[in-house]
Amino acid sequence: MEVDRTVNRTGSVSLGQHIVLAADILGGRRVSIRVEEHTLMFFDPQTRELLRTRPNPLSPAEVARLRGARPAGPSPQPVDEPVRVQRRASNNGVIMVVGQKVALGRVHAGKTLTIAVSETHLAVECDDGVRTVRRTTDQAVTRIRAHRPRLVASDA
């Protein structure tokens, strides 16, 4: 079975009497959920790109009573291309991506950089070219956008 839901800003969806955590990064997004015996597959309804999988807390009787349920289509597939994220370099040129610190140098201090995150490498797009760093963690990407710069109140 499949259902469509909108992920709330805390990253959760309501399925019957259960609140299921999808992912914080999906907050506000419309997703389809494929309900299988032991797993829930969250995917984009237009492209059928797999976004997340979670354990299924629903019993077969609860699945049959889900609002908006329809027969399942083809199985969603994960995307093979790297995830692109943005990070703002600190005042000494260090960024943090997927729990890994990458030192780029003071020339990049305060700049917003784009990083392509793959399974094995981080490709940082700098002014002086692309720097590739080996990935040392297996954490998932949880934030796509960089924080905006803090504004300091001027004393006038």
Task: Give tens-digit pLDDT for 3-50.
Answer: 998 988 888 898 888 888 888 888 888 899 898 888 888 888 888 888
Query: In this structure, is residue 142 part of a structural domain?
Result: no
- Distance, C-alpha 70 to centroid of its chain: 26
Q: Indicate if 33 and 95 belong to the same structural domain.
A: no
Residues 99 and 50 in one domain: no
Residue 44 lies in a domain: yes
Are 10 and 64 in the same domain?
yes
In percent, the amount of the chain with pLDDT more than 70 equals 92
Residues of the domain holding 48: 2-78
Identify whether 63 is part of a domain. yes
Using a 10 angstrom Cβ sphere, with 0-12 exposed, 13-18 middle and 19 or more buried, the burial of residue 72 is middle
Structural domain includes residue 154: no
Q: How many domains does the chain have?
A: 2
In this prediction, residues 131-140 reach a mean pLDDT of: 84
Query: Structure pTM?
Result: 0.56
